[in-house]
Structure formats: C-alpha cells, structure tokens
C-alpha cells in the first residue's frame, strides 16, 4: 500500500508543524492543511513545512482549506486521496484562541461562534467524513490500521475565565474524541485525545512573561515550556502503534501541570 499517510489540519505552524516534522522523520507522507498557504513563501507557513519535511524523503501535499467550512470537507479529503489513495492517521490539530482575551461575563457571541466553529464543529464533522473513508478502506481487507488523534488541550479540564469559549470548545473536542473512540472501535480504528499544556507557539506568545513566571514558581513539575516537538513525538508514538491497546486514552503533554499537589 506504500507509505503511511498522515492528514494534519493546521499544519503550517506551531503544534501542527511540530507534528508534521516528527511524522516526516518517521517516514510518513503528509497531507497538510492550512487556511491560506502561500506557495511563494518557503520561509514561513505551510510551504516552509513542506520544504523541511521533504528533506526526510517523504511527499508533502499542501492543502488549502478552512476546517470550519463544512461544505469544503469533501474536497479537502478528495485531494488527499487523489494524491495518496488513503489516509492512515488523521491529526485534528487546527484551532484558534479568542481574538481577544476578555472576562467570561464579557464574551460576545461572535467570538464564541468563531472559536466553536474552528475548534469543535469543524473537526467533529471533518472526522466524521474521514472516518467513513477509513471504515470503507478497512472493509477492503487491506493491511491497514487507521488512527485518529484529536489535539485538544489541558484547557478542556482547567478553567480560564478570560478565554472561556476556548476552554468550552476544547472540552467539547475531548468528548468528541471519546465518542469517536467508542463508535470506531468495532472497525479497529483507534482514537486518542492529546491534551497539551503550556506549549511555546504563536498562540501563547502574548502571555510568555506570565507563564515564564508561573513555571519558575512551580506551575509545572518539569520546569520548562513545552514545545511542538513534544506533541509531535507523542503523535508519532500513536501512529507507530505503540499505544494500540489504549484507544480512547487521554494523554496530557504538560510537564506534570495537572498533578494534584499539597
């Protein structure tokens, strides 16, 4: 069947970039999705990830699309299948923070809807579509062990009242992972929920000083920021089948952030 193929949403930067590069190092061909990739820019963005990934000897297919646009989902999947013929691992990574951090009591519907559409509604229905492809491919009898990974967040369990819509979206995404794990287990399709903690990305750059201070004060057991490669290595372990008896597992990547302490 050729190389295994990973379809990664939000692959142009941050955690998505870290996942793409790690899977490339493990020999996976990659279909990477971003909203507005620029083929003329190979220094930043999706085409920079393509350039670096292909140094590992894999094929990287750049895909343009908005995960919140449900009408575009089939076209995105069709382009990946036209190139590779199958998808072995779906990594639901695309996500956004609120445009502005405001108190829960000041959150406006426009911000809530935007975050929900990208972080929850889009991945829910995109996974539905990709899962149907996986089920059909399993039915052909091919040597094929598909897996689905949701990148939710420690914020699915830890409340931040100045970005409550983000927390609610990630809590919903975590339950989405649980539901798909139950629904797809009869087909041998494993589903996982990864919950990154404080990860150094563009999304967290605005609060760098705050978390530098909190980490130094003991917020995490491992006294450093997480990096996208930490998440990428975990996805690679799942893709390689090292946790295949753990479908439905919730895996925190947070340096011990949520360990209860006295």
Residues acting as catalytic residues = 166
Residue with tokens 């947070």: 254
| Main-chain phi, psi angles of 190, to 5 degrees | -90, 145
**DSSP-derived 3-state class of residue 33:** strand
Q: Which two tokens stand for residue 211?
A: 């978390």
Residue 46 neighbours by CB distance under 10 Å: 28
Q: How big is the chain, counted in residues?
A: 262
56 φ/ψ angles, rounded to the nearest 5 degrees: -90, 0
Q: What is the Cα–Cα distance from 183 to 71, expressed in whole angstroms?
A: 23
Go through 131-158 and write b for each residue having 16 or more CB atoms within 10 A of its CB, e for each that does not: bebbbebbeeeeebbbbbbbbbbbbbee
260 contacts: CB under 8 Å, gap ≥ 6: none
């Amino acid at each position: 069947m050729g190389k295994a193929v990973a379809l990664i949403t939000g692959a142009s930067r941050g955690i998505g970039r870290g996942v793409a590069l790690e899977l490339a190092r493990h020999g996976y061909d990659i279909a990477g999705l971003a909203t507005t990739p620029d083929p003329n820019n190979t220094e930043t963005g999706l085409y920079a990830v393509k350039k670096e990934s292909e140094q590992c000897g894999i094929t990287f297919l750049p895909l343009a699309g908005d995960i919140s646009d449900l009408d575009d989902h089939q076209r995105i999947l069709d382009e990946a299948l036209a190139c590779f013929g199958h998808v072995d691992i779906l990594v639901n990574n695309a996500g956004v923070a609120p445009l502005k951090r405001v108190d829960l009591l000041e959150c406006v519907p426009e911000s809530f809807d935007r975050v929900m559409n990208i972080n929850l509604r889009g991945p829910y229905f995109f996974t539905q579509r990709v899962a149907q492809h996986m089920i059909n491919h399993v039915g052909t009898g091919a040597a094929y062990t598909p897996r689905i990974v949701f990148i939710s967040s420690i914020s699915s369990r830890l409340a931040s009242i100045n970005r409550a819509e983000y927390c609610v979206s990630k809590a919903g995404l975590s339950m989405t992972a649980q539901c798909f794990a139950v629904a797809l287990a009869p087909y041998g399709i494993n589903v996982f929920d990864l919950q990154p903690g404080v990860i150094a990305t563009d999304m967290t750059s605005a609060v760098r000083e705050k978390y530098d201070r909190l980490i130094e004060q003991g917020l995490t057991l491992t006294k450093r920021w997480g990096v996208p490669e930490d998440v990428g290595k975990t996805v690679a372990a799942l893709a390689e089948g090292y946790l295949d008896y753990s479908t439905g597992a919730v895996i925190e990547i947070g340096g011990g952030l949520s360990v209860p302490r006295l």
